[in-house]
Amino acid sequence: MDIDNNTSNSCYSNQNVTFFYQQVNKTIRGNWTTRDHLVIGLGLPLSLIVVLANLLVMAAIHMNRRFHFPIYYLLGNMAAADLFAGLAYTNLIFNTGPWTAKLTKKQWYIRGALIDISLTASVANLLAVAVERHQTIITMQLHSTMTKRRVVLLIISIWAVGIIMGLVPSLFWNCECDLADCSTVAPLYSRRFLIFWALLNLLTFFIMLGMYSHIFFHVKRQSRHTSQHASEARQQTVINLMKTISMVLGAFVICWTPGLIVLLLDGLQGKESNANKYEKYCLAIAECNSLVNPIIYSLRDAEMRKTFKWILCCFCRREGCQPRETLSTEIDSPLKETQVQTEFPPQM
């Protein structure tokens, strides 16, 4: 169904989802394809792992009082955002392929909004963690200066930004009144919105890159000046920090670059980009970032690993599991503190 240029500026709010797919030559197949089965077969297990992994992180932070610091509150919120991403991707899987034609426009916008909210919140959390690490490491503070109130306000702001970004396309920044601006990846979305969203994420990446680079050179300079007096544990902390920074930046680039490139190509070239051939694979790769985050930020923390083992032990054994109160007392004991932990808050 083609609409000539003379009426391209008219609004088509009463049209269904299939109409907009036809405008960008995106076919909603009546039968399941091999790609559809592959997306579902790989996507559902991935989503389940993402949900369970991030639930484990949130439970560990809640149950271990030594994680009750601003940085870990932010990590817990990032785990919540990544968990939400797993649920949003699961919802997408059950509303894709031939099922897309049965969606109303409201349902279609909700499907996209859930993805936008979860991924935006996840990226915003990465930025918040970078800011907190930069403040703590550069100023050599014992703990972050952020109060619980400021942490709560920051978390609320993160979700507010995510919700706003998720609602923008359905409220006003769509192509219902400008068919020439329709995206091939998300046919009801404006291509200009996708360009804006992709550039915003790239800007976030470069801000993170600048912060972590500053931390890297600062720690390297401080380590060189104090190497003769620093303990072996302190040197190991510096090495672990550098490894974590490299892994964070590497994971972000690997998981997000394909999707951002596809969005930019779709926004700039439209139908000529053939972006819809790769969108689902790029989304799955971006979703992997929600699984990589708890691995990077949590599994590299020895205390987090210990808490993970305790939680899993409670699920695996009905008897002989250490009570929660005993665990908290043991973890809080000053006899467990090392020299590095006395100088700094728990480092990732």
Instruction: Supply the pLDDT for residue 340.
Output: 38
Within 13 Å, how many C-alpha atoms sit on residue 264's CB side?
Answer: 11
What distance in Å separates the CA atoms of residue 109 and residue 189, rounded to the nearest whole number?
9
In this predicted model, what pLDDT tens digit does every residue of 210-231 receive, in sequence order?
Answer: 888 888 787 777 766 665 555 5
What is the residue whose two structure tokens read 């389940």?
48
Place 279 in a pLDDT band, splitting at 50, 70 and 90.
Answer: confident
The neighbour count for residue 332, using CB atoms within 10 Å, is 12
Please give the average per-residue pLDDT across 80-92, as a whole number. Answer: 91
Segment 33-37 shows an average pLDDT of 79
Convert the pLDDT of each residue in 135-193 to its tens digit.
877 776 655 678 888 899 999 999 999 999 999 999 889 999 988 899 988 899 999 99
pLDDT for 344: 42
Q: Confirm if 123 and 166 have CB atoms less than 8 A apart.
A: no
Domains, the chain, with CATH or none: 30-314 (1.20.1070.10)
Distance in angstroms (rounded) separating the CA atoms of residues 198 and 187? 16
CA 18 to chain centre: 30
pTM of the model: 0.81
Least-confidence region, from 60-64, 103-107, 160-164, 329-333: 329-333
Furthest-apart CA pair in the chain: how many Å?
78
Phi, psi of 182 (to 5 degrees): -70, 140
Apex 102 CA angle, 99 and 105, nearest 5: 115
Tell which wins on pLDDT, 75 or 323. 75
At 252-271, the pLDDT tens digits run 778 888 888 888 888 888 77
- Higher-pLDDT residue of 80 and 3 is 80
Q: Is the pLDDT of residue 333 over 50?
A: no
